[in-house]
Amino acid sequence: MNEEEKNLSSCLHFSTSALARILTKMADEEFASSGLSSSYGFLLLVIDEKPGIRPKEVSEKLHLNQSTVTRLVDKMEFRGLLRRKQVGRSIEIYTTKKGSLLVPEIEEAWGNLQNRYSKVLGQKEAKNLASAIHMSTQLME
């Protein structure tokens, strides 16, 4: 490893960004069978888990801007996988029957993704790394 690589590898931003790109590619490969990218897959799982969830809560769970959640939901609603319901001044989001039917396939893809990176990192190391990164995001928000 040369000096420049040492400097970059010691930078948390550089290292986590590189890891995120690799994991996103792996995730999208695993989720491809569902016809959804991993972002849409996780969105569907969150909404299916809590029918009637509000966009703000979705954005908090997925660490996304509310405008991004709105854009994702728009596309999923267009595909017939989600529906929005106006309740007073609030919006609630639900999976449709078509969306709910995709949930087992998405859960399987998520499991395949976890198995795939666990084979590289080791199951315990992968779990510890995920936990440490999650805890770090909570501290830095």
pLDDT digits (tens, 9 = 90+) for 77-119: 999 999 999 999 999 999 999 999 999 999 999 999 999 999 9
pLDDT digits (tens, 9 = 90+) for 10-49: 888 998 999 999 999 999 999 999 999 999 999 999 999 9
Q: How confident is the model at residue 1 (pLDDT cuts 50, 70, 90)?
A: low
User: Which residues, listed in sequence order, are joined to residue 114 by a DSSP beta bridge?
Assistant: none
Query: What is the helix, strand, coil percentage profile of the chain, to 5?
Result: 75, 10, 15
Domains of the chain, by residue range, sit at: 25-140
User: Which residues, listed in sequence order, are joined to residue 87 by a DSSP beta bridge?
Assistant: 90
pLDDT above 90 (res 137): no
CATH of domain 25-140: 1.10.10.10
Rounded to whole angstroms, how far apart are CA atoms 91 and 59? 13
What is the value of pTM for the model shown? 0.87
Residue 115: enclosing H or E segment and its boundaries? helix 97-121
Q: How confident is the model at residue 141 (pLDDT cuts 50, 70, 90)?
A: confident
pLDDT above 90 (res 2): no
Residue 32 is given by DSSP the state G
How distant, in Å, are the alpha carbons of 5, 48, 64, 94 from that of 109?
33, 16, 21, 21
Rounded to whole angstroms, how far apart are CA atoms 33 and 42? 14
Q: How confident is the model at residue 59 (pLDDT cuts 50, 70, 90)?
A: very high
